[in-house]
Amino acid sequence: MNKKLYCAFALLIAGFMAEAQPVKTAAVFADAEKQTKVMLTNVAEARESKPELVAPRTLENGQLKMVASKDWTSGFFAGELWMLYDFTKKPEWKTKAETYTALIEKEKFNGGTHDMGFKVYCSYGTGYNITKDAAYKEVIIQSARTLSTRFNPKVGCIRSWDHHKEQWPYPVIIDNMMNLELLFAATRLTGDSSFYKIAVSHANTTMKNHFRPDYSSYHVVDYDTATGKVVKKNTHQGFADESAWSRGQAWALYGYTMCYRETRNKAYLQQAENVAKYILNHPNLPADKIPYWDFNAPAIPNEPRDVSAGAVIASGLLELAKYSKNKKEYLPVANTMLQSITNTYRSPIGENKGFLLLHSTGSKPSNSEVDVPLNYADYYYLEALLRQKRK
């Protein structure tokens, strides 16, 4: 690129950043209400024949894909409904949120997964934070007890997957940082510090072993349970073992920001800031700030985007801006992300079975959920909008 063209491109990006303003939240939530009513109709129809399926996850060949409560994504739809109620205060959204939250309750005893935070805290936790319902509190506490059974003191981490045991005897994935919020909440609700201690141990061990010198994160770290030592570091959903899977970087940013909120440990704040620096300064982050599915994907710019990663990053940056001296750096990028998502990546009203956003990527290496709506993209988009409004 010649110098004159480079300067013009830099000015274009600077102009894009300078113009980014907070999204008009009321208009977006009004659209989200309309679109979610479409989704509720489609979900009700799907559950008539398969009532065991409790929540929409994505589109598969243009058709609505529903999941059972055991699926890691089962809690996001109820959380979206709670956020619609939180913003609008309309009783109809509270009623719907209560209905779809109740469908997740049995997961409080499911010890076969690390995804308790995603399933229970995004549904029951979001609902409890709004309503202070004592019954929701009990579900959160029991879920934390169940999640704690997956902690190995020798390793210092909560085990992630039970599948692929032939490949990873004790895998810990960066996504698991997101489930720690449930444990911190349980300590606040009970006064029992054991949950807090597990969360801190997991965060510290992950900070030690998951990150490269540039603060990009590995996806999967496997441990020896006899010694607690790292066996190997690789990926499952990223391009390569040494690449930076975009949603993994988003989980890291959000997770350590949340850990700082809960502990006020400055090491976590610094970690979140360093991860943010990696993301925001990466040469492969597009001008609209919505990342490709992996920062090192080989065919950039002809690679799928991951709007879910963008939504998580935007939400994380908005919270990080509350604590960091770098607030003036984070807020314009978060605004740009949310403007980009709002203007370019939303579904037209009435289409896509009611999903709010398009162009997310679940697992590109498996050719699974590539360039489709995903319920967690919708969830973190609404959360980011609420955080932007309340900052």
Check whether the bond before 365 is cis (ω within 30° of 0).
Answer: no
Q: Is 257 annotated as a binding residue?
A: no
Report the half-sphere exposure of 102 (CA within 13 A, side-chain side).
6
Q: Is the pLDDT of residue 7 over 90?
A: no
The predicted model gives 198-208 an average pLDDT of: 98
Q: Is 366 annotated as a binding residue?
A: yes
Task: Report the CATH number at residue 103.
Answer: 1.50.10.10
State residue 16's pLDDT score: 45
Q: Is 74 annotated as a binding residue?
A: no
Active site residue 294: no
State residue 164's pLDDT score: 76
Q: Is the pLDDT of residue 98 over 70?
A: yes
Q: Which of 71, 115, 306, 378 is catalytic?
A: 115
Cβ atoms of 381 and 389 within 8 Å: the answer is no
Q: Is the pLDDT of residue 5 over 80?
A: no
pLDDT digits (tens, 9 = 90+) for 327-367: 999 999 999 999 999 999 999 999 999 999 999 999 999 99
Cβ atoms of 357 and 377 within 8 Å: the answer is yes
Q: Is 241 annotated as a binding residue?
A: no
State residue 166's pLDDT score: 79
Tally Cβ neighbours within 10 Å of residue 109: 11
pLDDT digits (tens, 9 = 90+) for 111-130: 999 999 999 999 999 999 99
Number of domains in the chain: 1
Q: How many residues does the chain have?
A: 391
Please state, in angstroms and rounded to a whole number, the distance separating the CA atoms of residues 276 and 281: 8
Whole-number CA gyration radius for the chain: 20
Q: Is the pLDDT of residue 381 over 70?
A: yes
State residue 19's pLDDT score: 56
Q: Is the pLDDT of residue 6 over 50?
A: no
Cβ atoms of 325 and 270 within 8 Å: the answer is no
Q: Which residues contact 307 (CB under 8 A, 6 or more apart)?
A: 290, 341, 345, 357, 358, 359, 360, 374, 377, 381
State residue 13's pLDDT score: 45
Tally Cβ neighbours within 10 Å of residue 94: 19
Cβ atoms of 219 and 235 within 8 Å: the answer is yes
pTM equals 0.94
Structural element, H or E, at residue 368 = strand 368-372
pLDDT digits (tens, 9 = 90+) for 270-317: 999 999 999 999 999 999 999 999 999 999 999 999 999 999 999 999
Which of these, 156, 312, 305, 331, lies nearest to 229 by C-alpha position? Answer: 156
Tally Cβ neighbours within 10 Å of residue 279: 25
Q: Is 115 annotated as a binding residue?
A: yes
Exposure string for 207-240, b = 16+ CB within 10 A, e = fewer: bebbbeeebbbbbbbbbeeeeeebeebbbbbbbe
Q: Is 361 annotated as a binding residue?
A: no
Confidence class for position 47, pLDDT limits 50, 70, 90:
very high
Q: Which of 175, 288, 294, 378 is catalytic?
A: 175
The predicted model gives 249-276 an average pLDDT of: 98
Q: C-alpha angle with apex 120: 387 to 292, nearest 5 degrees?
A: 55
State residue 165's pLDDT score: 77
Confidence class for position 32, pLDDT limits 50, 70, 90:
very high
Active site residue 175: yes
Q: Is 143 annotated as a binding residue?
A: no
State residue 1's pLDDT score: 39
The predicted model gives 53-81 an average pLDDT of: 98
The parent domain of residue 49 ranges over 3-390
pLDDT digits (tens, 9 = 90+) for 146-187: 999 999 999 999 999 998 777 889 999 999 999 999 999 999
State residue 363's pLDDT score: 98
State residue 239's pLDDT score: 97
State residue 391's pLDDT score: 73
pLDDT digits (tens, 9 = 90+) for 135-149: 999 999 999 999 999
